Amino acid sequence: MNGSPSFQDWMGLIQQRTEQALEALLPGADLAPRRLHQAMRYAVLGGGKRVRPLLAQAAGELAGAPAERLDRVSCAVELIHAYSLVHDDMPCMDNDVLRRGKPTVHVEYDEATALLVGDALQTLAFQALADAPVADDAATQLKMVCMLATASGSRGMAGGQAIDLASVGLQLSREELEFMHIHKTGALIRASVLLGAHAGRALDEADMQRLDHYAKVVGLLFQVVDDILDAEADTATLGKTAGKDADNDKPTYVSLLGLSEARRLAEDMLADARATLQPFGDAAGRLESLADYIVHRAF
Ligand code: GRG
């Protein structure tokens, strides 16, 4: 990594590039229908850690993918993520009023607009992947479009959300909780890594399997850490029992395992992700740092 930016600087650069690419891709606020376009920009721009774009870029760099392709992949995964947050916040789902420190889209605009924002961001994500080259050949590009569709749809994120909504108030086993999160948050995170890799040169089967294992572990790890952060915030600010979801008593890793066991699980998963990347050597430095970042923003 000699001569290349520190991880912190690299993160800042990618976050900036992603912001610019999203800004350019989103319809202008003055373009009709203005209210919808303003709300789409409100939902996407100027917030978020951009974890999925960071993962796509790091995997893409490993596969030598050109930056402009990775910017499109970054936009695609971030737009799907943004749409999912807008819909997840709506009264028919989690009914949240704040997101990224500002009023949620249905609060700032209205429910119908929030629904349309999600719809339009989702289709824009596929447009980002389809209307310019993002791979060496058309067959790979088509595969990438299908990968994003599977990760977002009923066999991926939307399916996971359905399981989540159906599980409120239930006692899930660890396997059931894992199944839900592999779909709800894991599928898009996994796709982010794989899409980034597909934007570059073809990797051999063994390398692709390594990346896929890393992506699956990190996808789940993200949720374990999110549960830990939520539990810590609940106990610190509200004095609630650790592990009970503040809003609706959803099962979490902390409610199932307890805080210290959930932390241990996160550390074990981080070790697994690191070990998986070892054969790539320095080329996987960014992916390793990202796994570390995902875990240690918690403690
Ligand atoms: C509505 C189809 C549909 C799906 C919603 C992912 C999801 C499915 C809902 C999000 C609910 C949620 C808050 C889950 C916890 C983990 C998570 C995805 C947190 C938010 O993602 P971050 O931390 O957010 O990457 P930023 O704001 O940094 O982009």
* Residue 226 domain-assigned (yes or no): yes
Q: Looking at this predicted complex, what is its ipTM?
A: 0.93
Burial 75-101 (b: 16+ CB within 10 A, else e): bbbbbbbbbbbbbbbbeeebebeebee
Q: Could you tell me the distance, in angstroms and rounded to a whole number, from the CA of residue 223 to the centre of ligand 1?
A: 9
| CA distance linking residue 91 with residue 165, whole number of Å | 13
Q: Which domain holds residue 16?
A: 7-296
pLDDT at residue number 170: 87
167: number of Cβ within 10 Å:
15
Atom of ligand 1 nearest to the CA of 82: 29
CA 235 to centroid of chain Cα atoms: 26
Dist CA 81 CA 44 (whole Å): 9
The pTM of the full predicted model, rounded to 2 decimals, is 0.94
pLDDT at residue 238, rounded to an integer: 56
| Ligand 1 centroid from CA 206, angstroms | 31
pLDDT of residue 183: 97
Q: Which residues are near ligand 1 (CB < 6 Å)?
A: 48-49, 51, 81, 84-85, 87-88, 100, 157-158, 161, 184-185, 226
pLDDT digits (tens, 9 = 90+) for 56-93: 999 999 999 999 999 999 999 999 999 999 999 999 99
pLDDT value of position 243: 38
pLDDT for 296 equals 87
Spell 114-149 as b/e; 16+ CB within 10 A means b: bbbbbebbbebbbebbeeeebbbeeeebeebbebbb
pLDDT tens digits along 137-167: 999 999 999 999 999 999 999 999 999 999 9
Q: Which of 84, 155, 183, 234 to mutate to test the pocket of ligand 1 (most atoms within 8 A of CB)?
A: 84
Q: Whose CA is nearest to atom 14 of ligand 1?
A: 185
Atom of ligand 1 nearest to the CA of 49: 28
Atom number of ligand 1 nearest to Cα 158 = 2
- Helices assigned H by DSSP within 102-186: 105-108, 111-130, 138-152, 157-166, 174-181
CA-derived radius of gyration, the chain: 19
Residues of the chain with pLDDT under 70: 1-2, 237-248, 298-299
Q: How many CB atoms lie within 10 A of CB 233?
A: 12
Atom of ligand 1 nearest to the CA of 47: 27
- Specify the number of domains making up the chain: 1
- Take residue 100 and report the two structure tokens written for it: 């990224």
CATH classification of the domain holding 277: 1.10.600.10
2 domain-assigned: no
Residue 36 counted as domain residue = yes
pLDDT of residue 169: 86
By the 10 Å C-beta count (0-12 exposed, 13-18 middle, 19+ buried), 43 is classed as buried
* Residue with CA closest to ligand 1 atom 26: 48
Ligand 1 centroid–CA 136 distance in Å is: 31
Residue closest by Cα to atom 24 of ligand 1: 48
Q: Give the residue, out of 150, 177, 185, 248, with the most ligand 1 atoms within 8 A of its beta carbon, to mutate for a pocket test.
A: 185
What is the pLDDT at residue 246? 44
Is 1 inside a domain boundary?
Answer: no
